[in-house]
Structure 1
């Protein structure tokens, strides 16, 4: 009985060590973290400043255009 239990335990340990199903999920997680870091670095750097300036300029022009009175 003890020998049978030992064989089953060893068999399960070997099967667990050879199981590669979770490797792909780990690889995708690592790639996802790397991609997130790249996107954050791009959008937090100069691009963020440029977008903020562009939106500010557009907002200013819209505000100034709405203040123009049309004479009839």
Structure 2
């Protein structure tokens, strides 16, 4: 019985380690951070893009 018990306990310990490991959580957090930064940049460019284009057209027409 004890000869079978040791591998079973080792297997259970390995499964427990996989579920409690936070190795991949850091990569997911960095990915979410990059996505948030990209969304903010896109929103700023979309908002200011028209205003900058209007300003360049005004300067170009004055020249």
Q: How does the TM-score come out when normalised to structure 1? A: 0.61
Aligned residues: 61
Aligned pairs (5 A) from 1:17-36? 17-36=19-38
Match of residue 46, structure 2, among 30, 44, 58: 44
Structure with the higher fraction of residues in helix conformation: 2
Instruction: Measure, in 1, the Cα distance between the counterparts of 2:59 and 2:5.
Output: 79
> What CA deviation, in whole Å up to 9, does each residue of 1:11-41 have, x standing for no partner?
2211101211111111111111111111111
**Secondary structure at 2:23 match in 1:** coil
Matched, 1:13 2:15: yes
RMSD, matched Cα: 2.2
Pair member with larger Rg: 1
